[in-house]
Amino acid sequence: MTMFNSDNIYPGVKVTPEEFAQKCDLKIFFNAGKEIELHSMIVNRPGLMLAGYKNDFAEKRVQLMGKTEIGFLQDNDKYIEAFFAKNIPCVVLSRGFLPSPKMKEMAEKYQKTIFLSHKDTLVLIEEITNYLNDLMSPTEAVHGVLMDIYGTGVLLLGKSSIGKSETALELVYRGHRLVADDSVILRRINDRVYGSSPEIIKNLMEIRGVGIIDIKAIYGAGSVIDRKRVELIIELEKWDENKEYERVGKVAKYQTILGIEIPKLVIPVDAGRNLAVVIEVASRDFRLKQSGYSPYSVVHSRMQEDK
């Protein structure tokens, strides 16, 4: 598992120029013929470096040149060799600009791949950053179901055969969206945890007695979503008469995933309980508490008034 460092530098992840171009919707202008080694999720605009200021240059980042950098280089490419001599992963040019002859010469000399795009610089920064986040973020796979319920990302956990998939199916039927069933890939991005499905089982759900079903094909495109932030964890467990379950919502519980504490509820499963409705209510109640409303505080205040 990849761990965070304070300077945003990570252990190297290598990708081919072809893969990088495909994932970021780029065109390869010059292919250095070697893998690109990525160490940072941040995209850098090297304006100061190209103007001669070499201190604190973020050479581990993908280098993106927009209108400002290209416009400067049209009249002055004095420092272009010093730029390409750095240990940069690659160079991306936005807005349909082409490298100058000097840039092409230095890319060939120092074996740095150059990519092109017609997209706006800010759009490219966002798209490449999203790709780098997905590629390099700390990840963890868990056995569970991730749902989007009233806009809240709810991760359902529990032992096998407890009823997670059946409950999720009922929730989809009631209009909520499935992210992943059985296996959930969790990623930590900007101090938040996001979940998605492994590609091989995307949009699919296993229902015992029925088999594998395609949620998107049955319920339509609006019944699934590719990724969702995990905001609430609900663990389902068999009802234990000897266990004391939360009854007033006074004590908050959390579970740590990838170093982030996420609110957690434990819901007992017993015959006759409509778990889908209970989970819907739990999601709505979570949203209310996020806005500052606490039913426990209301009850406590009323009890004080009655004294």
Catalytic sites, residue numbers? 143, 164, 182, 247
Q: Which of 147, 236, 131, 225 lies closest to 187, judged by CA? A: 131
Residue 191, SS3 per DSSP = coil
- The H helix count followed by the E strand count for the chain is 10, 17
Q: What angle do CA 222, 226, 231 make, to 5 degrees?
A: 100
| Beta-strand pair 152-158/232-238 | parallel
- What phi and psi values does residue 88 have, to the nearest 5 degrees? -85, 150
Q: How many CB atoms lie within 10 A of CB 228?
A: 23
Sign of CA dihedral 73, 78, 84, 88: negative
Say how far apart CA 122 and CA 99 lie, in whole Å.
19
Integer CA distances (angstroms), 264 to 36, 64, 168, 224, 252, in order: 40, 41, 17, 23, 8
Long-range contacts of 18-25 (CB under 8 A, 24+ apart): 20/90, 20/113, 20/115, 21/115, 23/131, 23/135, 24/92, 24/115, 24/117, 24/124, 24/127, 24/128, 24/131, 25/117, 25/119, 25/127
Whether 254 contacts 264, CB under 8 Å? yes
Alpha carbons 63 and 248: distance in angstroms, whole number = 54
